[in-house]
Amino acid sequence: MSDNDKYFEKLLKTRRIELEKANELSEQSRDAVQLDQTSVGRVSRIDAIQRQEMSKAGEQRRLKEICRIQSALKRIVQDEYGDCLKCGEEIAVKRLEFDPAAPLCITCAKI
Residue numbers at the binding site for Zn ion (CB under 5 A): 84, 86-87, 105, 108
Integer Cα distance of 5 and 83 in angstroms: 12
Q: Shortest gap between Cβ of 80 and Zn ion (angstroms)?
A: 13
3-state SS, residue 83: strand
Least distance in Å: CB of 4 to Zn ion? 18
**Residue 46 Cα distances to 49, 83, 111, angstroms:** 5, 47, 41
- Indicate the residue type of 58: G
Q: How far is the CB of 91 from Zn ion (least distance, A)?
A: 7
Comparing CB distances to Zn ion, the nearer of 35 and 98 is: 98
3-state secondary structure of 81: coil
